[in-house]
């Protein structure tokens, strides 16, 4: 075998070894432990990265919504106190 073939095989073996390590390195923890770790990392993160600190969510952009329900205006039984169909 020539030198370039050997180098290609060595690089392929290193890539496979790195891939195997990457996919099996986190298998010793359970999904619950990984979720707790990720949640703790998110909670301990920088507060400026939260969207609520950037965008003011207390303001309603629609404001007062118009009354567009035609049933409330056209209901002939709105003043009836008992059910007429019983």
Query: Following DSSP, what letter does each residue of 15-82 receive, concatenated?
Result: HHHHHHHHHHTTTTS-HHHHHHHHHHHHHTS-GGGSHHHHS-TTS-SS-SPP---HHHHH-TTTT-SS
36 belongs to a structural domain:
yes
**Confidence at residue 13, expressed as pLDDT on a 0 to 100 scale:** 96
54 belongs to a structural domain:
no
Average pLDDT over residues 32-44: 82
Tell me if the pTM is above 0.75: no
Domain ranges, residue 17: 1-42
Mean pLDDT for the chain?
Answer: 77
61 belongs to a structural domain:
no
63 belongs to a structural domain:
no
Reported confidence tier of residue 32, pLDDT bands at 50, 70, 90: confident
- What percent of the chain has a predicted confidence (pLDDT) above 90? 20
3 belongs to a structural domain:
yes
Q: How many domains does the chain fold into?
A: 1
2 belongs to a structural domain:
yes
15 belongs to a structural domain:
yes
């Amino acid at each position: 075998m020539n030198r370039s073939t050997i180098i290609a095989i060595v690089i392929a073996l290193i890539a496979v070894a790195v891939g195997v390590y990457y996919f099996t390195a986190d298998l010793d923890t359970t999904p619950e432990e990984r979720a707790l770790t990720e949640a703790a990392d998110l909670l301990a993160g920088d507060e400026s990265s939260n969207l609520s600190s950037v965008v003011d969510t207390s303001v309603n952009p629609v404001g007062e919504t118009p009354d567009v329900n035609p049933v409330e205006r056209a209901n002939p039984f709105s003043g009836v106190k008992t059910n007429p169909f019983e």
